[in-house]
């Protein structure tokens, strides 16, 4: 047996038609686009924009957003080709299993689990903080001991519990709620843009590209001894052309989330057409919104005076409109709700795919007979995220979300090249142009960004991967369906005999 064994695309697609493992196909291109926008636009647009402008790029942060969007776009194209070719739950895990081999598929699945689980926990805590501020603004108090920063973050736990129940009931029902909340979020973002234009002072755009200098106070957290700095002796700079690219490296993470769209492949009505639309459209929409918000915030307030913790809300407060600030807080609450919802859905679908392949216990992939959702793993993940969000001070572990995502992007980009060469006969509803050039550029950009993460993050990542390898070689390597030769039909038959 080889750790590089691959699961054929035909077998992956055939698995989706097995009655006991069949998910309900109900999602349209619009659903997938809303799903993508819902997870991409989160805390980033409410906090990251101002922070990056204040500490790294000034008004030229708008250029940083376009550079990041271009870099993210290359990875999005690779995801779109894979999703239209292998329309199966699991996203990058499934793609890697079909092209790069089982061990790399396990690595990517384990990475995605880290990204999505921890991401949901981190965002739930962020939601709790915004919710507490919003409740305070409307005259409602919340005990500090069981709120954000307290011993137990009950608000975060309540949110996760409600959303886990919702995702268990059904994917379509979840996305109906998601669509409403995304609508609220987009309304608030557009309100900020339209209302903010009236307060823009063009003098604040000068200089558009501030002169180069050392990182200013507040930028330190983005330069916590990055690996590239330690190895190559590179010294970070703020502002100038270097600041634009440093800002691009930071705001790149504001776009993370479009890859989660690919995890719902089996639940799309027409995945070959709708998945590429959902992935690319959500990225384009978010790029335009990010650019507009960055222009408005740097026009309303001089970049040196931007509040890095809550840029948009504080900008309106400074200009004498605290009511607008309350509205922005409400938008942030709605916005972060959609992010947690989509991350919970994404993580359950990745584990569902790994369990169906027996790399994880097959009992996790049970589909509810009525709701047609993977209810066992959805409940387990909901409980884990509740505990992490409610009891753990996340802190710098947020960077762990980024390293898991970037690793997935790198392997998907490489996988496109490999599958083009090993299976040129496969029908591809969407094709990445200029292969292998664009996928190589995508992988190189993601590698460079990952090297800008801190040494502590890499150390934690190595520990997480070591744990994953222990589980793989102790269980997955021997139990995998590619090792035993067991089909889903046989597996279903055994389950019925046991019952």
pLDDT in tens, 295-336: 999 999 899 888 766 677 778 878 888 788 788 878 878 888
Average pLDDT over residues 410-419: 92
CB contact set of 209 (below 8 Å; sequence gap of 6+) = 57, 58, 59, 60, 239, 240, 241, 243, 244
Percent of the chain residues past pLDDT 70, beyond the cut:
88
**CA gap 90, 348 in Å, rounded:** 9
- φ, ψ of residue 196 to 5 degrees: the values are -65, -30
**CA gap 258, 39 in Å, rounded:** 7
Work out the pLDDT band at 444, boundaries 50, 70, 90: very high
Angle of helix 271-300 versus helix 61-85 axis, rounded to 10: 170
Chain CA centroid to CA 487, Å: 32
Task: Tell me how far CA of residue 467 lies from CA of 147, 276, 319, 320, 380, in angstroms.
Answer: 32, 34, 51, 53, 19
pLDDT of residue 225: 46
Q: Is the dihedral of CA 394, 399, 400, 404 positive or negative?
A: positive
pLDDT higher than 60, residue 188: yes
pLDDT of residue 63: 94
Tokens of 391: 């009891």
User: In the block, which residue shows the tokens 């975060």?
Assistant: 156
The pTM of the full predicted model, rounded to 2 decimals, is: 0.82
CATH class of the 9-498 domain in this structure: mainly alpha
8 A C-beta contact, residue 143 and residue 150 = yes
123 or 296, which is more confident: 296
pLDDT of residue 220: 46
Q: What is the DSSP code (8-state) at residue 238? A: B
User: In sequence order, which ranges of 56-142 are alpha helices (DSSP H)?
Assistant: 61-85, 92-99, 102-137
Average pLDDT over residues 2-8: 86
Domain boundaries, the chain: 9-498
Percent of the chain residues past pLDDT 90, beyond the cut:
27
pLDDT higher than 80, residue 151: no
Counting Cβ atoms within 10 Å, is residue 194 exposed (0-12), middle (13-18) or buried (19+)?
exposed
pLDDT of residue 164: 92
Using DSSP, state whether 255 is helix, strand or coil. Answer: coil
């Amino acid at each position: 047996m080889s750790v590089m064994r691959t699961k054929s695309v035909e077998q992956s697609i055939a698995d989706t038609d097995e009655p006991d493992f069949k998910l309900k196909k109900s999602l349209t291109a619009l659903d997938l686009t809303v799903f993508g926008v819902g997870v991409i636009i989160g805390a980033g647009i409410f906090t990251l924009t101002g922070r990056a402008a204040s500490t790294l790029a000034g008004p030229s942060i708008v250029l940083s957003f376009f550079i990041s969007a271009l870099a993210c776009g290359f990875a999005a194209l690779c995801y779109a080709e894979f999703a239209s070719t292998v329309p199966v739950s699991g996203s990058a895990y499934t793609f890697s299993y079909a092209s790069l081999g089982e061990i790399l598929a396990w690595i990517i699945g384990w990475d995605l689990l880290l990204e999505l689980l921890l991401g949901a926990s981190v965002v739930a805590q962020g939601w709790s903080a915004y919710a507490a501020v919003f409740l305070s603004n409307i005259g409602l108090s919340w005990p500090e001991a069981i709120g954000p920063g307290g011993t137990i973050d009950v608000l975060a736990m309540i949110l996760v519990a409600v959303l886990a129940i919702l995702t268990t009931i059904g994917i379509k029902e979840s996305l109906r709620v998601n669509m409403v909340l995304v609508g609220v979020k987009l309304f608030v973002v557009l309100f900020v843009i339209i209302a903010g234009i009236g307060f823009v002072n063009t003098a604040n755009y000068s200089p558009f590209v501030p002169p180069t200098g050392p990182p200013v106070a507040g930028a330190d957290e983005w330069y916590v001894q990055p690996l590239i700095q330690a190895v190559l002796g590179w010294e970070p700079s703020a502002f100038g052309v270097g600041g634009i690219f440093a800002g691009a490296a930071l705001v790149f993470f504001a776009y993370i989330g479009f890859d989660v769209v690919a995890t719902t492949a089996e639940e799309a009505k027409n995945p070959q057409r709708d998945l590429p639309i959902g992935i690319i459209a959500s990225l384009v929409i978010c790029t335009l919104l990010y650019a507009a918000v960055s222009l408005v915030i740097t026009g309303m307030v001089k970049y040196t005076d931007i509040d890095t913790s809550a840029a948009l809300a504080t900008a309106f407060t400074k200009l004498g409109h605290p009511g607008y600030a309350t509205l922005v807080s409400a938008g942030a609450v709605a916005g972060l709700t959609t992010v947690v919802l989509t991350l919970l859905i994404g993580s359950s679908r990745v584990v569902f795919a790994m369990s169906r392949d027996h790399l994880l216990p097959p009992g996790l992939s049970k589909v509810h007979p009525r709701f047609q959702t993977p209810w066992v793993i959805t409940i387990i993940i909901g409980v884990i995220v509740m505990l992490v969000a409610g009891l753990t001070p996340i802190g710098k572990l947020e960077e762990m979300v980024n390293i898991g995502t970037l690793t997935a992007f790198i392997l998907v980009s490489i996988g496109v090249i490999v599958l083009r060469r090993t299976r040129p006969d496969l029908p591809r509803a969407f094709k990445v142009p200029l292969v292998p050039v664009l996928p190589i550029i995508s992988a190189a950009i993601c590698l460079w960004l990952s090297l800008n993460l801190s040494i502590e993050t890499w150390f934690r990542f190595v520990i997480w991967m070591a744990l994953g390898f222990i589980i793989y070689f102790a269980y997955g390597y021997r139990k995998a369906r590619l090792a035993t030769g067991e089909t889903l039909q046989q597996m279903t038959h055994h389950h019925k005999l046991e019952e």
